[in-house]
Amino acid sequence: MTSAPMSPLALLDTDSLIGDDDRAMRDTVRKFVDDRLRPEIAAWYDEGSVPVRDLALEFGSLGLLGMHLEGYGCAGTSATAYGLACLELEAGDSGLRSIVSVQGSLAMYAIHRHGSDEQKDEWLPRMATGEAIGCFGLTEPDFGSDPGGMRARARQDPAPGGTGDWVLTGNKMWITNGSVADVAVVWARAEEGIRGFVVPTDTPGFSATEIKRKMSLRASVTAELALDEVRLPTTAMLPEARGLSGPLSCLTEARFGIIFGALGAARDCLETTIAYVREREIFGKRLAAYQLTQAKLADMSVELGKGMLLALHLGRLKDEGRLEAAAISVGKLNNTREAIAIARECRTLLGAAGITLEYPLMRHANNLESVLTYEGTAEVHQLVIGQALTGEAAFR
């Protein structure tokens, strides 16, 4: 007996939990991904190149850049709408979602929350349209999960009668959009602690080198930043960011989008696999008709549905202003961990076909290796949750 197949997320009717405005935004992004990005993404991934500047303008025209921020040309949508946009973008490719996430939740959010009125007026309107591209310089070659150990330094010019200019020295690593950015939000250790700076990338002493030969996030620009006595006026410092809480607040914002985004990659893998097994015949019947196939699909769909319920709940909490950092760690840990497991399991059902770029499974699985790690590794999020449960910090 056969019947019409059901979408994995339809099992729990998660659409009924999404408001009309949020659903409309999701559908707009889904159509854009299907019409504009899917025809190109395999080639971009294969070539290790993506037209970030062109895409940024297109994302800006859709209102996706800094979409959950208020004012300065930003769309001011709900957090849930932003999450759903991230889901649809990552159903296309994690690298595409990263462009929007880094622009809006890291670079723009840092300026929006911690910047001066002058910094906001100068950068946010152009970043919202995609005319200006931003990056976020926190991670260093030797300090990723431990940003408190950063070696980049910011010192004020002590010259008598000087202007008090800041001088930045150091290196940043694994910076998305770094070599195409117009502005970098850079974090460095000053005498009074860690501070953030808005750095135009044409400032003398600033350079960015694209990182090549990646096996993951190939449809994304990743760079190393070098700061060689980069001189900035006093107005370049983010006035409202002091200590590690500044950059960590931005990471918390970006992690929220990943909670939804990872599910997009997982959903795309599942939908692709269900379509494949319904057509593929082996030992005289369709692959979909075997119990082992259905057991795998059932288990993966259960985890996808649970992840979606978790994401929507966290979105509702964020929209109500009640979302805590530890809860974001729960979402990021669970949904990235389950998404990569789904991508890998789906690949097994396609056999050798699953390793080709004709299908998105291996591409998603490779990308999710990075998503599992960045914005806090799985282990770091386990420790964040552990600290919330016990009151004891176990990071050292």
SS (H, E, C) the chain: CCCCCCCHHHHHCHHHHCCHHHHHHHHHHHHHHHHHHHHHHHHHHHHCCCCHHHHHHHHHHCCCCCCCCCCCCCCCCCHHHHHHHHHHHHHHCHHHHHHHHHHHHHHHHHHHHHCCHHHHHHHHHHHHHCCCCEEEECCECCECCCHHHCCCEEEECCCCCCCCCEEEEEEEEEEECCCCCCEEEEEEEECCEEEEEEEECCCCCEEEEECCCCCCCCCCCEEEEEEEEEEECHHHECCCCCCCHHHHHHHHHHHHHHHHHHHHHHHHHHHHHHHHHHHCEECCEEHHHCHHHHHHHHHHHHHHHHHHHHHHHHHHHHHCCCCCHHHHHHHHHHHHHHHHHHHHHHHHHHHHHHHCCCCCHHHHHHHHHHHHHCCCCHHHHHHHHHHHHHCCCCCC
Q: Tell me the C-alpha distance between 44 and 49, whole Å.
A: 5
**Can you give the pLDDT at residue 143?**
81
Q: Which residues of 269-301 are buried (b: 16+ CB within 10 A; e: fewer)?
A: bbbbbbebbeeeeeeeeebbeeeebeebbeebb
Q: 395 φ, ψ to 5°? A: -75, -20
Q: Do domains 134-242 and 246-390 have the same CATH topology?
A: no
Q: ∠ CA 325-108-125 to the nearest 5 degrees?
A: 145
pTM, whole model, 2 decimals? 0.94
Please name the residue that has the structure tokens 């929209």.
319
The answer to whether residues 119 and 200 touch, using CB atoms and an 8 Å cutoff, is no
Q: Which residues pair with 209 in a beta bridge?
A: 224
Residue 373 vs residues 171, 207, 218: alpha-carbon distances, Å: 20, 25, 16
Q: Can you give the pLDDT of all 396 residues of the chain as single tens digits?
A: 667 788 999 999 999 999 999 999 999 999 999 999 999 999 999 999 999 999 999 999 999 999 999 999 999 999 999 999 999 999 999 999 999 999 999 999 999 999 999 999 999 999 999 999 999 999 999 887 777 788 999 999 876 555 679 999 999 999 999 999 999 999 999 998 999 999 999 999 999 999 999 999 999 999 999 999 999 999 999 999 999 899 999 999 999 999 999 999 999 999 999 999 999 999 999 999 999 999 999 999 999 999 999 999 999 999 999 999 999 999 999 999 999 999 999 999 999 999 999 999 999 999 999 999 998 899 999 999 999 999 999 987
Query: What residue type is assigned to position 66 of the chain?
Result: G
Q: Tell me the C-alpha distance between 19 and 100, whole Å.
A: 22
Name, in order, each residue with C-beta under 8 angstroms of 375's C-beta and a sequence gap of 6 or more: 251, 254, 255, 258, 332
Instruction: Give the strand pairing for 281-282 and 285-286.
Output: antiparallel
| CA nearest neighbour of 334 among 382, 393, 270, 273 | 382
**Can you give the pLDDT at residue 3?**
73
CATH superfamily for 8-129 is: Acyl-CoA dehydrogenase/oxidase, N-terminal domain (1.10.540.10)
Residue 87 vs residues 262, 267, 269, 357: alpha-carbon distances, Å: 7, 9, 13, 21
Q: 63 φ, ψ to 5°? A: 80, 25
Instruction: Give the strand pairing for 183-190 and 134-137.
Output: parallel
Would you identify the CATH topology of the domain 246-390? Butyryl-CoA Dehydrogenase, subunit A; domain 3 (1.20.140)
CATH class in words for 134-242: mainly beta
The residues that are catalytic are 375
Q: Which value, to the nearest 10 degrees, does the dihedral of the CA atoms of residues 265, 177, 99, 198 take?
A: 130
Q: Where are the domains of the chain?
A: 8-129, 134-242, 246-390
